[in-house]
């Protein structure tokens, strides 16, 4: 198999396809073992969802030490923050937590951006709480590759996701559970007594920010409880960074121009 130790942008589509073809017949544990010996600057990025917890357990059970990046949006459920603490205690990984720029608490975020930003402008919100902190984390930590818990069975943009992909920024993303179903994840969690979010016992399957997550009804897709009633399927963390940044800057510019016009009108 071609090595990914070299600069990843030198890989052409045929090489990447070959790598994914080889990895597609491997078990997730094998994919993780391969990734750990292939990449320098490897991190697990997780919000401690069911899939991320499975990956943490698989790494630990093989004696593989991978530091963890957690993006604290300041709008997580308390149960999620509790799980982050329990998971670190259980597996002993180095946990790197990054929050929205200039904010240590939810109150700081509201003071800086106003209340209910996710309602007023979800693009600015997603960029502020997820995209910018993640990019800052990658740059500060020197991350070249991140392990995610995304799966094809979650549908949406993930339905055709490969095991290894390369972002426009050059960051490599490894998705070892790409071929797994939610039932496989849940079975692994229970069989191996892996810590999981208490909200799963209340009907939640995919847990994000408190204001945009609800329990899943019987017969609904796993991520139906995220942004219910909207066409949205991703928070921005797994979208094209440059496109997200461009849209964020455009919206910010429009908002500043609107404020300037309002001030001018008041003075007049």
Instruction: Show which residues are catalytic.
Output: 235
The DSSP symbol for 152 reads G
Give the three-state DSSP class for 26. Answer: coil
- Pairing relation of β-strands 172-174 and 164-166? antiparallel
Residues 6+ apart with CB under 8 A from 219: none
SS3 labels along 215-247 = CCCCCCCCCCCECCCCCCCCCCCCCCHHHHHHH
Burial-class residue 110 by CB neighbours within 10 Å (0-12, 13-18, 19+): middle
Look at strands 95-98 and 145-147 and give their pairing.
Answer: unpaired
Find all residues with CB under 8 Å of 91, minimum gap 6, and list them.
56, 57, 59, 60
Residue 117, both tokens:
């930003």
Which pairing describes strands 145-147 and 172-174: parallel, antiparallel, or unpaired? parallel
33-70: b or e for each residue (b if 16 or more CB lie within 10 Å)?
bbbbebbeebbbbbbbbbbbbbbbbbbbeeeeebebbb
Tokens of 221: 């897709």
DSSP 10: G
Give the Cα separation of 176 and 48 in Å (integer): 15
């Amino acid at each position: 198999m071609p090595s990914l130790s070299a600069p990843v942008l030198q890989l052409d589509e045929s090489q990447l396809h070959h790598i994914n073809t080889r990895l597609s017949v491997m078990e997730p544990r094998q994919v993780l073992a391969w990734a750990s010996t292939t990449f320098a600057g490897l991190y697990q990025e997780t919000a401690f969802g069911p899939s991320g917890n499975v990956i943490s357990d698989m790494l630990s059970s093989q004696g593989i030490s991978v530091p963890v990046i957690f993006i604290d949006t300041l709008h997580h459920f308390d149960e999620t923050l509790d799980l982050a603490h329990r998971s670190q205690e259980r597996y002993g990984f180095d946990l790197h937590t990054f929050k929205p720029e200039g904010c240590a608490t939810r109150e700081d975020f509201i003071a800086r951006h106003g209340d209910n930003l996710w309602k007023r402008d979800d693009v600015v919100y997603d960029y502020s709480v997820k995209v910018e902190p993640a990019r800052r984390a990658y740059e500060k930590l020197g991350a070249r590759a991140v392990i995610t818990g995304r799966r094809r069975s979650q549908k949406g943009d993930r339905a055709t996701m490969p095991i290894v992909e390369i972002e426009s920024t050059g960051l490599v993303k490894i998705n070892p559970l790409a071929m797994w179903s939610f039932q496989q994840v849940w079975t692994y969690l229970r069989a191996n007594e892996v810590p999981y979010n208490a909200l799963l016992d209340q009907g939640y399957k995919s847990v994000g920010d408190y204001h945009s997550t609800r329990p899943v009804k019987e017969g609904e897709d796993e991520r139906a409880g995220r942004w219910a009633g909207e066409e949205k399927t991703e928070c921005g963390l797994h979208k094209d960074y440059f496109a997200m940044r461009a849209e964020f800057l455009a919206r910010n510019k429009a908002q500043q121009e609107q404020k300037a016009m309002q001030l001018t009108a008041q003075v007049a």
